[in-house]
Structure 1
C-alpha cells in the first residue's frame, strides 16, 4: 500500500491561499507533516517486510504441496503393493487348500491300498489253508503252497516225487498226488500248468540230453500220473520244462540245489472262481506244520 505524500502540501497551499498563517500554526502544520512522513515511511517498511514474509510463506506452501503430492504418490504405491500382496495371499490360501485336499485324497487312496493288501493277504492265507488242509505234517515238508496275485503255486520236491536220478514218479508220491488231484478236480474249470525245474548239475543218463529234457520229462510224468491215475481232464493240463534256468536258491550249495530241483503245479483261477474258492474255505483252518518257504520266482 502507498500513501500520497502530496496531501499535506495541498493542505498547506490551501491555507496559504486563503490567508497567511501565524508562525505557531505553521509549526504545528510542519510537525504534522513530518509525523505523517514518518508514519508513511514506517508503513512502507512494514509493507515490504510483510510482502517478503508472504513470499517466503508462499514458497513454503509450494514446497509443502510438492511434499503432499509425493506422499500421496507413495501412499498409492503402497496401497497397490498391499493389494497385490493380499491377492497373492488369497491365491496362496487357495493353493494351500487345494494341496491339503490332494494330500487328504492321497492318504485316503493309500489307506484303500493298505486295506486291499490286508484283504488280499487274508484271502491268500485262507486259500493256502484250504489247499493244504488234507496234507499231513510229513507231506507239508515236501510240499510248498503259495498264492501270489490269485495264482496258486504248489511246489513239490524231487525227493518226494521221483525215483533217485529218474523222471519216473515214485510210489510214495502217489498219496500226495491223489490229494492234489482231488483239489484240482474240485475246481474243474481252472487251468493247470505242471512245470519241471532242475539244478545246474549236467545230466549224464542215457537218452536224456540235458536238464531241459529232464525237467520236461518230469513234468510230463506228473501230467500223465494226474491223467491216468487220478482222472484229471488232460485238456486242463500243460507240461513244461524250464531246466536249470528258473532257480529259487543258490546252486552253489547242496541246500540250494535241493530247492531248485522241484516240480511246480500252477493253478490259475479266474477272479470269480477265486472268490468262489474263498467262500468254500472252512471256518477253522489248521496251522501248517512248518513255516512255508519263500515264494517261487516267476
Structure 2
C-alpha cells in the first residue's frame, strides 16, 4: 500500500512540474508574440507614412507635368516650331525642371526623416521591454499608438486608493523607466494621471482632476528627485476620467482606467530642424542639377 501511495505521489509531482513548464513556455511565447506585434505596428506606421509621401509625390509630379505641357503648348503657339524655342521659353522650361527636381528631392528627404524616426521608435520599445522585463502585463504595458511610445502603469501598482503617494514597491518600476529615459537624452516624456469616473471629494482632493494631476506630479517628482531625470524633459498632466480605455460601468473596466501613462515624446524642434536642413539641401542640389 505504501508503494502504491509513493508511486501516485511521484506521478502527481511530475504532472505539476510539467504544467509549470508548459505555463512558463506559454508566457514566454506570449511575450515574444507581443514584441513581434509591436515591431509590426511600427513597421506598419512606417508603411502608411511612405504611402502618404508617395501620394503627395504623385500629386506634385502631376502638377509639374501639367505645367510643362502648358509651357510647351505656349511655345508651340508662339513659335509654331519646337526647334526654335525662344530664350524666354527655354528659361521657363529650365525653371520648371529645376522645380520638379527640387520637389522630388524634398519628398525623398521627408521620407528619410520619417523612416529614421520610426527606427528610433522601434529601438525605444525594445529598450523599454528589455529594461522592464517580465512584469505582470495587468499592471504595466509598453505600447505604440500612431508612432508614439507609451508605458501604462496601473493605479494598483502605484498608489493606494484615493492617494497620490507613490508606493515604495512601484519605485523599482519607475527606476527602470528612468534608466531608459536617461540613456536617451534626445527624448522628452509626459506623465499623465488618469482616474475612473467615480466621483471623489476629500479635504485633499476636490475632484478627479485634482487627484489625477497630483498623481502625475508625484511620479514626476520621483523620477526627478530619486532617479535624476532632468525636470526640463518632463511634463506632468492630469486627465481626470475623460480618456478612458475601458467601460466604467464594470469594476474591471474602472480598474483599467485608473492608470498613469508615461508618454515618450520626440523633440519635434529637432525633427523639424532636420527636415528643414534637408529641404534646403534639396533646393541647392536641384539648382545644381543633381
State the partner residue of 1:202: 199
Q: CA deviation at 1:139?
A: 4.4
Alpha-carbon displacement from aligned partner over 1:221-248 (angstroms, at most 9, x marks no partner): 0000001110111111111101011111
Alpha-carbon displacement from aligned partner over 1:6-59 (angstroms, at most 9, x marks no partner): xxxxxxxxxxxxxxxxxxxxxxxxxxxxxxxxxxxxxxxxxxxxxxxxxxxxxx
- The correspondence of residues 1-298 of structure 1 with structure 2, limited to 5 A, is 113=51, 127-270=124-267
How far apart, in 2, do the equivalents of 1:273 and 1:174 lie? 31
Larger helix share, 1 or 2: 2
Contact 2:181 2:187 in 1 (8 A): yes
Contact 1:139 1:176 in 2 (8 A): no
How far apart, in 2, do the equivalents of 1:187 and 1:152 lie? 14
Q: CA deviation at 1:122?
A: 8.4
How far apart, in 2, do the equivalents of 1:273 and 1:163 lie? 39
Contact 2:138 2:154 in 1 (8 A): no
How far apart, in 1, do the equivalents of 2:185 and 2:51 lie? 32
C-alpha distance 189-164 of structure 1, shift in aligned 2 (>3 A): same
Q: CA deviation at 1:203?
A: 1.2
Q: CA deviation at 1:192?
A: 1.1
Contact 2:195 2:240 in 1 (8 A): yes
How far apart, in 2, do the equivalents of 1:250 and 1:171 lie? 30
Give the TM-score normalised by structure 1. Answer: 0.49
How far apart, in 1, do the equivalents of 2:194 and 2:250 lie? 17
> Higher Cα Rg: structure 1 or 2?
1
How far apart, in 2, do the equivalents of 1:185 and 1:237 lie? 12
What stretches of structure 1 of length at least 5 have no aligned partner?
1-108, 275-298
How far apart, in 1, do the equivalents of 2:241 and 2:208 lie? 6
Alpha-carbon displacement from aligned partner over 1:122-141 (angstroms, at most 9, x marks no partner): 87555423211122323443
Q: CA deviation at 1:142?
A: 1.3
Q: CA deviation at 1:120?
A: 9.2
Contact 2:131 2:180 in 1 (8 A): no
Q: CA deviation at 1:271?
A: 7.6
How far apart, in 2, do the equivalents of 1:218 and 1:172 lie? 16
How far apart, in 1, do the equivalents of 2:126 and 2:269 lie? 19
Contact 2:188 2:267 in 1 (8 A): no
Count of aligned pairs between the two proteins? 166
Contact 1:150 1:271 in 2 (8 A): no
Contact 1:220 1:239 in 2 (8 A): yes
